Each structure stands twice: as structure tokens, then as C-alpha cells.
Amino acid sequence: MRLCVFGSEGRMGRLIRDEAGDSVVACYDRVPPGTPPEVRLPDDVDVILDFSLPSAWGDLDLLMSPSRAALVTGTTGLGPSHMEMLDRWAGERAVFASANMSRGIYVLGRLLELAGRMLSRDFSLEVVEIHHGGKVDSPSGTALKLADIWESFAGQGVRTMGRSGSVGPRKPVEIGMHSLRGGDVAGEHQLHLLGEGERLVLTHMITGRRTLALGALRAAEFLIGKEPGLYSMDDLMNGDRK
């Protein structure tokens, strides 16, 4: 498997380079000045691993345009225009997109599905996520995905990003979203399901980013030989169980 790392100088990019070793045949932090064919992906790249910023996706699009290499992306903070780019790329190549490459987070989401099916009529959800001080987007992409899962059972909620001042009683449709930043925390997500007389807390903690790097490399292996399309952790985890 021959890999290209895009966003190669960021925390995740450097870690993936270390873990993948000689499998990495090209690295880009941003595309250097020039236009195709002056700037192009090496012909022997099988999979591009992208852990960059949404603002770098114009460069990523430029880099990929002559190629049909598969793409694994863990970039978060995406807007509607970036989702359109993902859909376009998935029409050309196999694309794996996940805000979190941890299998444990995937299982946390499945547990939330089960809780939502049983409790969403009578319980409230508060999401707390903790990350290192260098993280630029808030709330985390994973926290937003977990809120999406709850809403698939509870209905569309009102997402409250923290609380300050005299905000009044909590509305039944509220989903509280709380972001803590500091230190070198790789990632922690807490789900507080609050009912009358009881509270259920589900927590996932990543103790090091190596977990995420290994997950990204697992996703790259998964994409080898796949048809164009948009793949997710659902596809990877179901494939792992076969």
C-alpha cells in the first residue's frame, strides 16, 4: 500500500508518517505554487490520508484532480461547500470520511442509538467534549455526530452551545453542547443522559493520538480495491466483523 499524507506537518499527519514508515511515498502540507501538470500526485499512490483544515481543501482538490487514488479524510469543521466536494470526490474514487477514526467512538455511537431508542422520550442529552488547546473547531465533529444520532430518535433539538447568564429553565428539546479545551488531551466525549431520579453517563477517552493514526491506516487498507463511493465507520466495522 503506497500512501500520500496531506496535512503532513500537523499532529496527525506527523504521527501517520511515523506509523506508516516506508509506505508513505509523498507528503504535502499545502500544495506548493504551480498548476497541473506541474503539481501532481505521484502515479504510484494508492491512498491519500488527509488530516488538514477545511481551508486547505482547495489545494487537496488540485492535488487529486489528475488521480483516482482513494481518499481517507479525518478533517473536521466542514461546511456545506466541503460536503459538496466530498460528494464529487466520491463519484470519482473511494472516499472514507469520519470525524473520528476510533473504533471505540463508533461503539459509543451504537450505544447511544440503543439508549435513544429506549430513553429519548423521557431523558435529556448533554454532550461534553474535551480536547487539547490547539484544536480549532468547536464543538468537535464527533460531538456533533453524536447529537445527530440522538436526534434521529428524539427529533430535531435545539443545540445550546454552553450556557451563561439567566437562560431560564432547560427546554425539553434542548441538547447541551459543552467544549473544554486545554493541555494535551487527545479526545474525550461524555454523554450525560438525564432522567427523573436517574442519570446515565457514557464516556469514551482516547489516551493517545496513535489510536487515531492506526484507525486511519486501517481505513486506508479497507479502501484498497473499493469502487468509487463514500464510505464510513459503519462500512469499516461491518467489514471487520465479516
pLDDT tens, position by position, 15-35: 999 999 999 999 998 766 655
pLDDT the model gives residue 241: 43
Bridge-based pairing state of the strands 124-131 and 174-181: parallel
pLDDT the model gives residue 136: 87
| Angle subtended by helix axes 103-119 and 141-154, to nearest 10 | 20
Among the residue ranges 154-158, 194-198, 227-231, the one predicted with the least confidence is 154-158
Q: Which residues pair with 172 in a beta bridge?
A: none
Q: Which amino acid is at 30?
A: R
DSSP H or E stretch at residue 47: strand 47-50
Model confidence at 240: pLDDT above 80: no
In the chain, domain spans? 3-97+210-240, 103-206
- Beta-carbon contacts of 113 under 8 Å, excluding residues fewer than 6 positions away, are 149, 152, 153
Bridge-based pairing state of the strands 70-73 and 94-97: parallel
In the predicted model, what is the mean pLDDT of residues 109-138? 95
Cell numbers representing residue 220 in the block: 486506508
pTM of this structure: 0.81
| DSSP H helices in the chain | 11-20, 57-64, 80-90, 103-119, 141-154, 210-223, 233-240
pLDDT the model gives residue 238: 86
Per-residue pLDDT band at 118 (split at 50, 70, 90): very high
Per-residue pLDDT band at 157 (split at 50, 70, 90): confident
Catalytic residue IDs: 131, 135
pLDDT the model gives residue 208: 87
Cα 5 to chain centroid distance, Å, stands at 16
User: How far, in Å, are 21, 25, 33, 196, 218 from residue 45 at the CA level?
Assistant: 14, 7, 21, 55, 16
Percent share of the chain, pLDDT over 70: 95
Per-residue pLDDT band at 183 (split at 50, 70, 90): very high
Nearest to 140 by CA among 195, 75, 184, 95: 75
Model confidence at 54: pLDDT above 60: yes
Q: To the nearest whole number, what is the mean pLDDT of the chain?
A: 92
Does 3.90.230.10 match the CATH number of domain 103-206? no
In the predicted model, what is the mean pLDDT of residues 105-118? 96
Per-residue pLDDT band at 198 (split at 50, 70, 90): very high
Among the residue ranges 36-40, 89-93, 174-178, the one predicted with the least confidence is 36-40
Model confidence at 70: pLDDT above 90: yes
- CB of 207 closer than 8 Å to CB of 221: no
pLDDT the model gives residue 242: 42
Bridge-based pairing state of the strands 94-97 and 229-231: parallel
Q: Give the DSSP letter of residue 155.
A: -
Q: Please identify which residue in the block is written with the cell numbers 467489514.
A: 239
In the predicted model, what is the mean pLDDT of residues 124-135? 95
Cα dihedral 185, 189, 195, 198 sign? negative
Assess whether the region 3-97+210-240 and the region 103-206 belong to the same CATH fold. Answer: no
Cell numbers representing residue 117 in the block: 431508542
In the predicted model, what is the mean pLDDT of residues 47-74? 92
CATH number assigned to the domain covering 3-97+210-240: 3.40.50.720
Specify burial of residue 85 (Cβ count, 10 A radius: 0-12, 13-18, 19+): middle
